[in-house]
A and B are shown apart, each in its own frame.
Chain A
Amino acid sequence: MSTGTASRQIIEQIAAADTGRVNLMEVCGTHTMSIARSGLKQILPDNIRLISGPGCPVCVTPDEVMDAVLDLSLTDSVTIATYGDMIRVPGSRRGVTLQTLAARGADVRIVYSPMDALEIAASRKDREVVFLGAGFETTAPGTAMAVQVASERKLENFTVFSMLKTVEPALRALIGDPDFNIQGFILPGHVATIIGERGFEFLASEYGIPGVISGFEPEDILVSIYRLVMQIGSGRAEIENEYTRAVAHAGNTMAMAAVNNVFEPADSLWRGLGMIAGSGLKIRDEFSKYDASVRFGLHIEPLGRKSPCRCGDVIRGMITPRECPMFGTNCDPENPAGPCMVSSEGACAAAYRYMI
């Protein structure tokens, strides 16, 4: 059976479910992208609304944190090693990014993994290498490993600037918002490979909200939507796993152990959601030698500044990208006002690039 035929059949089942207006939220940048690239929204029945939540690690990074990173990049002998996505993200000053600062002499290297950053430090003892640890539970284990290896090898010039966040506190904060109006979650498959099905069970058991852990092919997402609609239609609230090829009930306990060995929960500032208790990962004191905030005395204070960028409302699902007054006029991928437009996983970038 061709993909087109199979998907048509699933769509018919979804349409037949007769649930009325249903809002489903995904909280994963890769899902945002897969939905946009495949044109999935166009083939869904009108009563199903797909909303992008705070799933893009770049998009939830507040201006204050980016400003600290940008200032750090101009420090003598500092080499910033980062995932590629970060280099075009502005802070509070429009047009100032790691990429534009690199053109003015800042040493910025794109790496695929924290271990690459570690090897740069090992081979360049004259540089202070700072790895920007962005991401959720998916990238946390790799980052933890880099800190552990740095410690074993007694590196003197390698630190991690942890921007890591965890998904559960953000979901709780979303649900606690008075405007919250989501009937089901499409849950992030990669995060789930780490925290397992059990990491999401609180959604059903404490809040009565169904969730389906989904893979990343458009077919995976379509099946997950179908399963959510079936649950909603029959008044059930469970956590289902559509991504069984990668996700186990307990997740990856070894990876979680590595994360807990190096990091501990800390309060963390999210764009749009504000300060959420225990939602970030901070490097533990015994590894403080590898903590860039300690090495460079970085303190992030919320600025409370009002910016015209509505990225925070977009990632809470309050407005769609097109409803932002700057969309396409004052804000586009070449001249982004905020991270939702510059990140390749951001809802605004996806809408701008892919949607007709």
Chain B
Amino acid sequence: MMDEYITLDYGSGGRKTSSLIEEMIVPLFENDALAELGDGAVLKSEGRIVFSTDSFVVSPYIFPGGDIGKLSVCGTVNDISVSGGQPVYLSLAAVIEEGFPADDLKQILESIRKAADEAGVQIVTGDTKVVERGKGDGIYLNTAGIGFLRTPGLSPSAIRTGDRVLVSGTMGDHGTAIMLARNPDLLAGNIESDCAPLHEMALALGELGSSLRVMRDPTRGGLATTLCEFVEKSPHGIEIDEDAVPVAPAVKSACDILGLDPLYSANEGKLIAIVSPDAADEALQIMRSHRYGQNAQIIGTVTEDHPGRVVMHTPIGGSRILTRLTGAQLPRIC
């Protein structure tokens, strides 16, 4: 029988730990590998595997559009997906602070279950630790994921002059939503995180074969940082049109007031793809036909001008460089 708050005993390995695992975790994530409750999961494999891990420390851990649980599944699922893998298995590790409300834990685990179902992955192994009050920020999660490689050859080195740059939807939603959730008195806003699994969209884009050069999900650092990563130390540059980059009006307004830039704010349910020019329209249609890609746009082109740099054409007719983010975005004074 679970208490109202997680105590240190739940991490001790004793009876309370067993009750946490058996009452909360196993029933939610029913699968053969997990039910064994062995120290490791024995899994079937198909050819080459894609392996990725991410840790999640977001605060607040519940926010508009999701929670740390949903984020932990989508984050790793998406990393595997944009690397050309079909996500199949996840591990889940939790570090919980003493005093964490059991109801919140239940909500987070249910989110994980829901997200895993949507992404078609199984949670096959995991770990729980509890730390003393003051030694953790509520809850930290880590997921590591295994996927089967379906689309080999994706890499920034495959990029060629003339390739087109596509985004699957509006930019900056997640980062802005989190900033607002941390400052609820600052602005009222209806901005939700875009946290979502992109495995289906990525797999469908993989059907384009070698016309699909590379994909990435623009998390920390946003669209701008990701584009910089594609071309730095390469013979190519990228030019994009500011007008073509989709940004939700509410996100733009909030960013204007907060002094943030949507192009540098995190996204958790978007992907950026670089494709050959003849495949651009088809890639756009693939994105738009998916649930999470309805606002997809072609935003720019790969060039041999200004190698290593990303240049953005502004609505007024000028241009500016998009550099990498050098640290956290700092809100301006006035």
Are A and B genuine complex partners? yes
Interface residues of A (CB under 8 A from B): 2-4, 7-8, 29-30, 33, 36-43, 57-58, 83-88, 110, 112-113, 116, 134-136, 138-139, 190, 218-219, 222, 333-334, 344-345, 352-356
Question: Is B44 engaged at the interface, CB distance under 8 Å to the other chain?
Answer: no
- Taking CB atoms, residues of chain A closer than 8 Å to B315 are 2-4, 38, 218
User: How many whole Å from B272's CB to the nearest CB in chain A?
Assistant: 21
> Which B316-333 residues have a C-beta within 8 angstroms of A?
316-321, 323, 326-327, 330-333
The majority secondary structure among interface residues of chain B is loop
CA distance A28 to B334 in the complex (A): 9
Q: Are A353 and B321 in contact (CB under 8 A)?
A: yes
User: How many whole Å from A23's CB to the nearest CB in chain B?
Assistant: 20
Q: Are B316 and A38 in contact (CB under 8 A)?
A: yes
**Which residue on A lies nearest to B186, using beta carbons?**
A112
Can you name 18 A-B pairs with beta carbons within 8 Å? A3-B317, A4-B315, A7-B316, A37-B320, A39-B317, A39-B318, A40-B318, A43-B317, A57-B334, A86-B333, A112-B186, A116-B185, A334-B326, A345-B332, A355-B320, A355-B321, A356-B320, A356-B321
Interface residues of B (CB under 8 A from A): 183, 185-186, 258-259, 306, 311, 313-321, 323, 326-327, 330-334
- Taking CB atoms, residues of chain A closer than 8 Å to B317 are 3-4, 7-8, 39, 42-43
- Taking CB atoms, residues of chain B closer than 8 Å to A86 are 333
CA distance A139 to B333 in the complex (A): 8
Known: A4-B315, A43-B316, A112-B183. A87 touches B321 (CB 8 A): no
Most buried by A among B313, B321, B332: B332
CA distance A58 to B334 in the complex (A): 11
Q: Are B320 and A39 in contact (CB under 8 A)?
A: yes
Known: A112-B183, A353-B321. A39 touches B331 (CB 8 A): no
Q: 15 other contacts beyond A7-B317, A37-B314, with CB at 8 A cut-off?
A: A3-B316, A29-B333, A29-B334, A30-B332, A39-B318, A42-B317, A84-B259, A112-B186, A112-B258, A113-B186, A134-B333, A139-B334, A218-B315, A345-B333, A356-B306
CA distance A51 to B326 in the complex (A): 26
- Taking CB atoms, residues of chain B closer than 8 Å to A58 are 333
User: How many whole Å from B143's CB to the nearest CB in chain A?
Assistant: 28
CA distance A85 to B323 in the complex (A): 18
Q: Are B318 and A38 in contact (CB under 8 A)?
A: yes
Neighbour of B316 across the interface among A30, A36, A112, A222, CB < 8 A: A222
- Taking CB atoms, residues of chain B closer than 8 Å to A344 are 259, 330, 332
CA distance A331 to B134 in the complex (A): 39
User: How many whole Å from A170's CB to the nearest CB in chain B?
Assistant: 15
Q: Are A354 and B183 in contact (CB under 8 A)?
A: no
Q: Are B334 and A138 in contact (CB under 8 A)?
A: yes
- Taking CB atoms, residues of chain A closer than 8 Å to B320 are 36-39, 353-356
- Taking CB atoms, residues of chain A closer than 8 Å to B321 are 353-356
User: How many whole Å from B153's CB to the nearest CB in chain A?
Assistant: 33
CA distance A326 to B332 in the complex (A): 25
CA distance A313 to B258 in the complex (A): 30
Closest 6 pairs between A and B when the two form their complex, measured CB to CB: A39-B318, A84-B330, A354-B320, A138-B334, A3-B315, A83-B333
CA distance A4 to B306 in the complex (A): 23
CA distance A41 to B320 in the complex (A): 10
Known: A40-B316, A353-B321. A88 touches B333 (CB 8 A): no
Q: Are B326 and A38 in contact (CB under 8 A)?
A: no
CA distance A136 to B58 in the complex (A): 35
- Taking CB atoms, residues of chain A closer than 8 Å to B259 are 84, 344
Known: A38-B314, A88-B327, A112-B183. A356 touches B334 (CB 8 A): no
CA distance A101 to B315 in the complex (A): 41
